[in-house]
Every structure is written in structure tokens, then in C-alpha cells.
A and B are shown apart, each in its own frame.
Chain A
Amino acid sequence: MTLRMGLLSTAHVHTGGFASRLSASDEVEFVGMTDDDEERGRETAAEHGVEFYEPDALLERIDAAIVASTNVTHRRWVEPAAAAGVDVLCEKPLATTMADARAIVAACEEAGVRLGLAMPLAHSVPARRAREAYERGEIGELQAAVGTNRAWFRDRHLTGWSADEEHAGGGAAMDHTVHIVNLLRRITGEEVTEVHAEFGTMHEGIAVEDVNVLSMELSGGGIFTLDGSWDRPDDWDYWGDAALTLVGTEGEIAVDVFDQTIKRTRAGEGIDGVYWGSIPDDALLADFVAACEEGRPPLVGAEDGLRETAVVLAAYESDERGGPVEVDY
């Protein structure tokens, strides 16, 4: 049986990537998409050669949906999907407030639908290898963790909303905290207990933070910092990075998820990296489809969304207070 899938909203910068994956998948029938911005939705649907539907009409025709909306509107899309019995793969972060995060999780639980998060890092081969090594005890007890998840600032212009608080719910901290926090939680099973945030805004023309440097304490007593800034210049050779080094009593695990690239220099176009490793988004989608078919939770889902939203909100609270804040789960 093929899973009938659709896209709820086309606002997100990952819309095109997921639409192409749905089109290419043998296990999925890509039914179509909807959007509250009808013009944008119809245009995107035409680009990918699928139907545009009104939201209710699409929900009637699909088994599972990807919510690719702005950060602040996830709840508005997930609740009706859950009510229609549609499994949901939601963009990250799960929500921009704890109230929304809890409502999304409750709606999916009540309806008995699967809730997955579009967080690819845990699905990557390097992350899976790191988790296996950690579970074998290769680094002993975790002492310190250092992560980076930087990005091109230029990508903020692609959607028109990702650096706009009204739609994104914040800046780099809202966008680029959850990936590495999830990666660390996934590999080690540790939780973040305290966050101190140093935010900054170095680019002109935005009102949100583009510098996002977090200092955290972990449940096992380890220390953890994360730089999730939008600080890579336009000419940097890759969209960004996703890296995490874990130092324990017995050794070290260093993950650099996208460090499988060919360096490409093109006359007049500068230097960039051509990725040749296994694509984490493919593994993410495969896991979600399998989860829907097997009736099991996806690898990254509700609990991750709740906990990571709490860490993000603690970071914003720390920025306001100017000091460390305990994470309120």
C-alpha cells in the first residue's frame, strides 16, 4: 500500500526539497498541497506537477502530511490534520510557545495519529555511528559537548519570513537551537537542565538575533555549548554546518554531519561544496513513512519537540534576564 501524502502550507524553505522527495518516492503517492497563501500554494503545486486543494479537501485525500508552514502557525495546521486522522511530519521547531507545543502533542495523542519532526540530523549515518559508539561506552561518562550549527545569513531572504519575529517567533535561536540539542539528546540520552544565552544582531535590516551562542548544563553534570548563528558570509563554501564533539572520561566522538563534500570552484561564481554523502532527509522521510505504515512513533517526535521547545524558550528567557535559566519542562 502506498501512503498518500500532501503538504500543508508551502511557506517553509524546505518545501521544495520535501516536494521533490515525495515526487520521487516509490512508497508515497504525492497527492498535492494546500496553503493559506493561495497564490504561493498554486505556484508551488504547479512547479511540482501536483494538485492544489483547499485544506479540508486535501486532508480528506491523504493519510499523512508534512507541515511546512511558518514557525508560529504549526498548531493551526497540525490540529485539523490530527482531527482528520492524518499523520503529521512537522517542521521544526515544534512550536514557538509551550502552550502551542503541548496543544499539538495533545491533539495528535487524542486522535491517535503519528507526530514526527522534520529534523534530519539524527537520521544521518554519522549520527547513527556516534550513537552506537556512545552506547558501546567508547567515551565513558560525558563531560563536555561542543556543537555548531551555523548558516548563511543570505538564506533568510529566501522565504521572506524566517528572520521576521511575527512569523518565525524569533531569530537564529528559534531556528538553529533544536537540531544540535536533538542530536546530543539522541546520542547521549542527556537532557539540558540550564541555559545561558548570548544573543547578538550583527547584520543590518533585521530585528531578531543572528548571533546565537548558548552555554548549557546537562542532566549528568556535563557542560555543553552551541553556536547556532546565522553568521556565515555569502561566499562561504557551504550553506552552513552541523557538528558536535562529545568529550568523555574515556575518549571523544566528533560528528560533522555534512563533511563529505567535493570542493567546487566555478569561474565567476566562487567556491562551494558538492555533498556526496548519504542524504539525511531521505532517511528522515523513509523513517516517517515506515512509522506511519507500522503504526509506531517516528524516530524524532512529540517528546523531542516538547523538550527542545522548552530549551529554546529558556534561551530567550536567559537573553531577557541576562543570566542562566533553568529549563522548565
Chain B
Amino acid sequence: MNALTVTGISKSFGSFCAVKDLSMTIPEGQIYGLLGPNGAGKTTTIRMIMGIILPDGGTIKIFDQRNSIDVLDRVGYLPEERGLYKKMKVGDVLHFFGELKGMKKAFISSQIDYWLKKFELSAWKEKKVEDLSRGMQQKLQIIVTIMHEPKLIILDEPFTGLDPVNTNLVKDVILDLKQKGTTIIFSTHLMEQVEKLCDSILLIDKGKSVLQGDLHQVKSRFSHDRIKLQYSGDAKFLKENPAIEKYDDYGNYVEIRLKDGENPQKLLRDFVKVAEVYRFEIVEPSLNEIFIETVKSEN
């Protein structure tokens, strides 16, 4: 069963088209990265998934059911813009949102204690939300998102405002949840986090899907033609090899770009015959490069 199936959704605000004919399928148990530059339509897409706004067309299915409020009880959502009731006590806020998600009373209490301890907030249970620092409020909101043990979690920029220690803590929690079979969608433009965590990605720009699929496949699609080489010997063979499109000598190493369809393994065999090879690396482009390249080429 898929955790989320989105088919051809669109949304316009007046004459502005925020999301256009977007589709995605997320199998259960994956961490799925929703990427895109600012204003690409990530948040609008998430809001449609959460039933906060209705799409103009297309369908959204969560665990093969329409995204009604009952189904959404099994979803955890951390909105991009953070905020909680400032005057309420931490424990009361968690209680309220637990009730809204239809949790049983005893379960709410045990979950509150468990998660406050996990996020080192136990001492703040009786304090008002406004007394907490920004980072602590952020952690509190993450607890609100996951305390009802949702099968699908949507996190919109979960790491903004967190220091490195807390970023790690949240990252570990996300990986923990994945281990338990939870599907996690997270929207961000921090590529480093995506590379570490995600199984699959969807890159959207101007409301349209521009790149989609398994993270490794996406990367290998972009990586076939670049090689990093460190050697000692005559540079002549670089100039004469017909498989090489062009190369840049950086002193310590040479970066080679192959012609389309050429096999890097064959190139390596040729090199070994004429030079001492210390390092031969097929370079995976960083997601950052892919992101910039794709978005640029779209424009």
C-alpha cells in the first residue's frame, strides 16, 4: 500500500498558478524529500495534502483513502510557520492537540511524558509556552506532530531554528520513526539533510514536477560523465583519448568530462596502461548541483 498517492493536482490563486498537474506516489516506510526553490509550491502542495485548502483538480489519497479528517488523524503535520498557544502550559497544549487527534486520555499522558523526556523538556511541562526559547518551542511543536504515532508524517522545514545538537536529536528521531515503518515527507531546501536522510525526492519548480524518483537513481542519472583523476605520468593521453569531451587540470587532480555513451571503466583500463593512477573516482554530483542545474535549465 502507498502512504500517499497524489494524482494530477492543480491549484491557482486568482491568475497565479501555484501548483500545476502534480503527481507523486510515496510507498510506505520511505523518507521522501519535497524540494524546490522558494515559492515553488511546496507548502501549497502540503496544505492540499492536509486538506487545509482544496485542490482545483486531481485526487489525493492517503493510505488509499480520501484525505478526510478521520484519515488525517493518522497524519502528523509540522507547518512551516511555527506557533502554539503562548499563554497555555506546555503540558496543556500537548493534551489539547492529543485530543484533537483523537487520542485516548491515558495514552496522551504517557506520550507527553515520554516525548518531553526524549526532547529534554520535562522540566518545562508546567511552564507557559511563551517562557520557552524558540528552539524549545520548535521541539515542542515536533512533539505535537508525532505524539499520536501517525503512520505518515509531513515536516515542512523541520530543522530551521535548531542548533546542531538539536538538529541531530531531531534527525535521530526521524530515523527512529522510519525504523518503525513510519512514512516521512519532508520539505526543505537544505540539500545536505536530504542527501543524508531521503530515499526518494521530488523536485518542484513553479508548481511543476521537474525531477522525481529514487535518490540514487536521480544522482546516477547526473553522474555518468564526470571523473576525478589523480595520476603521475604524461598528460598526452588525456588530450588524445577520443572518449574525453574535455578536461580541467586543477594541479592536484584533473576533472574529466566524458562524451555521451562512453564507459568510464574502459577509460580506467586505458589509463592504467600509460600512467600511475592514484585515484579514479566517478563523481556523484551533490544534490545541490542537481538542484541548481535542473532549476536553471527549466528557466
* Chain B binds chain A: no
Q: B: which residues have CB within 8 A of A?
A: none
Q: A: which residues have CB within 8 A of B?
A: none
